[in-house]
Amino acid sequence: MKPILVVGASGTVASELVRLLRARGQNVLSGTSRAPTRPDQVQLDLVRGTGVADAVARAEAAFVFAPPGHVDQHALIAPFVDHAKRHGLRKVVLMSAMGADADPNAPLRRAELHLEQSGLRWNTVRPNWFMQNFHTFWLAGIRDQNKILLPVGKAKGSFVDARDIAAVVAELLLRNDRDDRAFDLTGSEALDHDQVAVLLSQVAGRTITYQDIPPAAMRDGLLAAGLPAAYAEFLLVILGFFKAGYSERITDAVQAVTGRPPIRFAQYAQDHRAHWQ
């Protein structure tokens, strides 16, 4: 049997998905934008469109998502879906984002619809904001200033652990009883960033606080970090949705698909405490 292709296999969700699939005895083909160093790797680049056809031809199913830093996700995902249809893949699971289905003209929703209308078996997972952002994208402010610096006011988010996203995707790839459905993935609790700061402080051994900052300050920080201007504006838009309360909703999808409750934020903080200590 051909392997399951995992695109962006070094990413936060995809690397965990590779681990889970292999632990269940699955043959996995790891998609990477770099030159392969092992037989179980394949080079493909969704942005440049290179290597996609060859990678898909070697697979029987696939997990795919648009790489960060690009705002026209449809332009990246649609060609992949077309190759998957051409080569008759059993199923494609797409990672989108919670709220993507609110606007049918949004690039990410257009990517979802392209898959839904492809004739392939499909699933879409729409995670809420990742817990892992606190030890990656938001780490600099925590490390250097002991502050979570975001323009989201007192709004709450039902943050989801990337390990739970990967666990859901693994189930969807290996089973067919939930084909052709989308799942909004959240944690089991909604926290504001003051509450998050308390939980991080408990494991870091020092006081971490949250500071609400103006969007302009966030924009300056994103641009200084090297993000493309268009992607910085995209992040400000979706952070604005967070501030407006759209990230507070809690779903039971992780429990329904995996049979276990989502990882709580306190457990995530404990598991990754070395990043803040």
* Residue 166 within a domain: no
* Residue 143 within a domain: yes
Residues 229, 140 share a domain: yes
Of 107, 126, 145, which residue constitutes the final position of a domain?
126
What CATH number did the domain enclosing 144 receive? 3.90.25.10
**Residue 1: per-residue pLDDT:** 83
CA Rg value for the chain: 19
pLDDT in tens, 37-92: 999 999 999 999 999 999 999 999 999 999 988 999 999 999 999 999 999 999 99
Of the candidates 220, 242, 230, the one whose C-alpha atom is nearest the C-alpha of residue 73 is 230
Residues 193, 204 share a domain: yes
Residues 120, 21 share a domain: yes
Give the side-chain half-sphere CA count within 13 A for 213: 18
Residues 152, 67 share a domain: no
* Residue 172 within a domain: no
Residues 240, 149 share a domain: yes
**Residue 250: per-residue pLDDT:** 98
Residues 104, 157 share a domain: no
Residues 8, 88 share a domain: yes
Stretches where the chain sits below pLDDT 50 are none
SS3 state of residue 162: helix
* Residue 180 within a domain: no
Q: Cα–Cα distances in Å, from 114 out to 84, 181, 235?
A: 12, 14, 23
Look up residue 187 and give its DSSP letter: -
Residues 141, 276 share a domain: yes
Residues 113, 203 share a domain: no
Domain that holds residue 117: 1-126
Residues 234, 119 share a domain: no
* Residue 178 within a domain: no
Residues 151, 102 share a domain: no
What CATH number did the domain enclosing 32 receive? 3.40.50.720
| Residue 148 in tokens | 């979570």
Exposed, middle or buried, 177 (CB in 10 Å: 0-12/13-18/19+)?
A: exposed
Overall number of domains in the chain: 2
| Measured distance CA(47)–CA(70) in Å, rounded | 9
Residues 240, 114 share a domain: no
Of 79, 103, 126, which residue constitutes the final position of a domain?
126
Q: Against a cut of 0.85, is the pTM above it?
A: yes
**Residue 142: per-residue pLDDT:** 97
| Torsion-angle region of 153 (φ positive above 0: left; ψ -120 to 50: alpha; else: beta) | left
